[in-house]
Structure 1
Amino acid sequence: MSGATLPPIESVTGGSHGIEAGYDQMLALAERYERQAGDFVEMVGLGARVMADGDLLESSVLSPVSFADAEVQVLDATTGADGLTVRALGIEADALGVRAVVAAFGAGDALSRHATETIDHALGRVTAAALPALLLAGGITYAWFSTLSPEEQAALTERLGDDLGLLLHDHPELAQHLVNGGGGLLGSIVPGVGLLDPGDGPISGATTNDAARLMALLLGNDTDYSVTRRDDLDGDGATREAPRTLEDLVRQLSATNGLDLTDEGNHGAIQVQQVGQEPRERYIVYLPGTDDMGPVPASGDRVRDMETNYQLIGGMDSAYGRGIQQAMVDAGLTGKDVMLVGHSQGGMVSASLAADPEFTRHFHVQHVVTAGSPTAQVPHLPDSTHALHLENRGDAVPLLDGEDNPDQPHRTTVTFDQGGHDVADNHGLRRYADGAAAADASTNGSIRDQVERMRADGFLGGGPSGPVRTWVISR
């Protein structure tokens, strides 16, 4: 993005400079205190053993005055008012205090999350209770709307879209809370939705993830897939240079995403790029997002549809995820170091696969980069996997998990602002390429550590690229 103004970065959460990393550092300090206290206690025991040594006691008759003085000095140094025993107790108390502070902070964070979930769940139930009135108001509004001329209808629709887009950009937390109340909403209007509640959520009752599982089941929960090697697309839209920056990663992802613009038969295409040379080669897997945005999947074989979105938010297997794993096996990536780069649904499936023990049994997922993806439904990633999540203010899609991303030392969320009233445009990869460029230029510690780790692991830095190969996944 040379010569252009970079979008401002509004917030950075998680990562090496995040809250959880700070907790870890505090606990490491407590552990050092405890080791030091243990060393002092060991010294106290050594002093006692020295003074009780038989040879030393026998020699005391030769100089009883100096022996008594030495005994007093040792006792004072070990068990005296300012001795090692007292110091060890003080240091141990400091360690306990640090651990207590971390526990209190953690409990406060958990209480805050629980309160938010409870309030949002109640909001969903209130919305369900108000549905009859809302439907009536909607019917009256539609009747009035139908009396307008086509030009007036188009102008009003455009204005409403702009207003809603601006509302989303200025107050994204409203949309997030509404989405997070999805469990309460469905729990009120759909009998038996509680059967989908596994009882392991933050609250008693169905959550938005449970609601997504219900939608996936209603749509058939199809996980059958087919994978087709498309050597005719190898290199199409792909650079022959290994990525140097985060912006390069997103722009290559955009090129992969564009493979289906001229041929619908390319829907479901993913690409695998080799960086570095054998035996130190690495692989980057580019995973585009949703092709079919209809609330009910259209007939056909498109795998990147709303059913897959519901499955991913609900923590279920999907045909897209299974197909990606098969394509990577076919590409010879078993046992290799890989990076998953995904947009929208592609980022969702990237995080889901990186957290799946069955998937990581085949591949060593060192890095995940997501752009415009809801990923909070994946609460934990392995410590060996580092994730960078890019989110654009005003993009509704990252809000569809209803929650903020977890704050973890190896997981960084970067929110930038290059949004406006056009919700679809805010979600575009063009915006995310600019956001990635802003992250490249950032001096934030968590971002810098993530990027430097990508460089150290050989995924960024430029140089010639190996073959870029293409697979198409379908149902």
Structure 2
Amino acid sequence: GEPGADDPVQRAPRTIEELLTALAASRRSVTVQRVGPQRYIAYLPGPEAGEGRLRLVGGDHTAYDAEVVAAVERAVAGDEGARVMLVGSAQGGVTAAEIAATVASPHFVVDQVVTAGAPGAQVTRVPETTRVLSLEDRSDPVALLGSLVNAGLPHRVTVVFEGASARADGTSVYLAGARAADSATHPELRAEIQRIQGLGYLAG
């Protein structure tokens, strides 16, 4: 079953790379982890994760949105004031942004969204009270366009990296991007990671 307010706290990931490693290891379409008092991470690898990795392209994903919200609400049951970070790749990232933008659950608040390889998430109008950190491969023109569209928004940080070198040595493109983000010295990115740590979603 899903973790609940009475379940033991699991150690939060220390880095963005560890966060995306946990996302990649998810075998269900949504996995919720309690990482501290009133703090939860929901991993959204996409609706295909529970379907033998069948990839759904386009179509109506409202069923997946509802599945994610229900899973988070089960996980936080009894934990008043629960706050959540949604972490998603591909369609999971788009869903994370959509939930942050449209779901007003009485059971949890979305503090943070982290997406990887989900350029469609860039166009979702996430409220300014929710921060969004996106990792995108420079070779994806949709990702580049999205990062330009959002360049002036103070609650969104997009890391665009060169995925070609990662593909050449067999490393997962987005794990390589996460590693680059963790080691970056850019002040805006450092501040964003420190903010996520301060909220209790990364152990630091």
Give me the TM-score of the superposition, normalised by structure 2: 0.80
Query: Cα distance, 1:371 vs. partner?
Result: 0.4
Query: Cα distance, 1:328 vs. partner?
Result: 1.2
- Change in 2 beyond 3 A, CA 1:451/1:360: farther
Deviations, residues 327-347 of structure 1 (Å, cap 9, x unaligned) = 111222574110000011110
- Find the counterpart in structure 2 of residue 442 from structure 1: 184
- Change in 2 beyond 3 A, CA 1:406/1:320: same
Contact 1:376 1:401 in 2 (8 A): no
- Find the counterpart in structure 2 of residue 271 from structure 1: 31
User: Which structure shows the higher strand fraction?
Assistant: 2
Query: Cα distance, 1:402 vs. partner?
Result: 6.2
- Change in 2 beyond 3 A, CA 1:416/1:328: same
Query: Cα distance, 1:281 vs. partner?
Result: 3.5
Tell me the secondary structure at the aligned position of residue 163 of structure 2.
coil
**Corresponding residue to 1:370 among 96, 115, 140:** 115
Deviations, residues 235-265 of structure 1 (Å, cap 9, x unaligned) = xxxxx53211111101110111xx2xxxxxx
- Find the counterpart in structure 2 of residue 305 from structure 1: 56
Deviations, residues 347-392 of structure 1 (Å, cap 9, x unaligned) = 0000111011x335442111110000022330x2222211100001
2:48 maps to a residue whose letter is: D
Contact 2:137 2:143 in 1 (8 A): no
List aligned pairs for 1:69-468, cutoff 5 A.
229=1, 241-256=11-26, 259=27, 268-276=28-36, 280-289=37-46, 291=48, 305-306=56-57, 309-311=58-60, 318-332=62-76, 335-356=81-102, 358-374=103-119, 375-378=121-124, 380-394=125-139, 396=140, 399=142, 403-404=146-147, 405-407=149-151, 408-419=153-164, 430-461=172-203
Aligned equivalents of 1:305 and 1:419: distance in 2?
A: 25
Query: Cα distance, 1:230 vs. partner?
Result: 7.5
Contact 2:76 2:108 in 1 (8 A): no
Q: Which entry has the higher C-alpha Rg, 1 or 2? A: 1
Query: Cα distance, 1:305 vs. partner?
Result: 1.8
- Change in 2 beyond 3 A, CA 1:371/1:390: same
Aligned equivalents of 1:376 and 1:366: distance in 2?
A: 17
**Number of aligned residues:** 191
Aligned equivalents of 1:303 and 1:270: distance in 2?
A: 15
Aligned equivalents of 1:401 and 1:318: distance in 2?
A: 26
User: Which structure shows the higher helix fraction?
Assistant: 1
Tell me the secondary structure at the aligned position of residue 118 of structure 2.
coil
1:448 maps to a residue whose letter is: R
Deviations, residues 289-320 of structure 1 (Å, cap 9, x unaligned) = 3639xxxxxxx9989622xx344xxxxx6110
- Change in 2 beyond 3 A, CA 1:251/1:399: same
Aligned equivalents of 2:145 and 2:117: distance in 1?
A: 14
- Find the counterpart in structure 2 of residue 198 from structure 1: none
Aligned equivalents of 2:52 and 2:12: distance in 1?
A: 32
1:434 maps to a residue whose letter is: A
Contact 2:113 2:133 in 1 (8 A): yes
- Change in 2 beyond 3 A, CA 1:429/1:323: farther
Query: Cα distance, 1:433 vs. partner?
Result: 1.3
- Change in 2 beyond 3 A, CA 1:304/1:460: same
Q: Among the aligned pairs, what percent are the same residue?
A: 38
Tell me the secondary structure at the aligned position of residue 97 of structure 2.
helix
Runs of 5+ in structure 2 lacking a partner? 4-9
Aligned equivalents of 1:429 and 1:274: distance in 2?
A: 29
Tell me the secondary structure at the aligned position of residue 348 of structure 1.
helix
Contact 1:287 1:343 in 2 (8 A): yes
Contact 1:337 1:365 in 2 (8 A): yes
Contact 1:321 1:349 in 2 (8 A): yes
Q: What is the CA RMSD across the aligned residues, in angstroms?
A: 3.1
Contact 1:290 1:344 in 2 (8 A): no
Runs of 5+ in structure 1 lacking a partner? 1-228, 232-239, 260-267, 293-299, 312-316, 463-475
Aligned equivalents of 1:322 and 1:303: distance in 2?
A: 19
Contact 2:30 2:46 in 1 (8 A): no
Aligned equivalents of 2:105 and 2:53: distance in 1?
A: 26
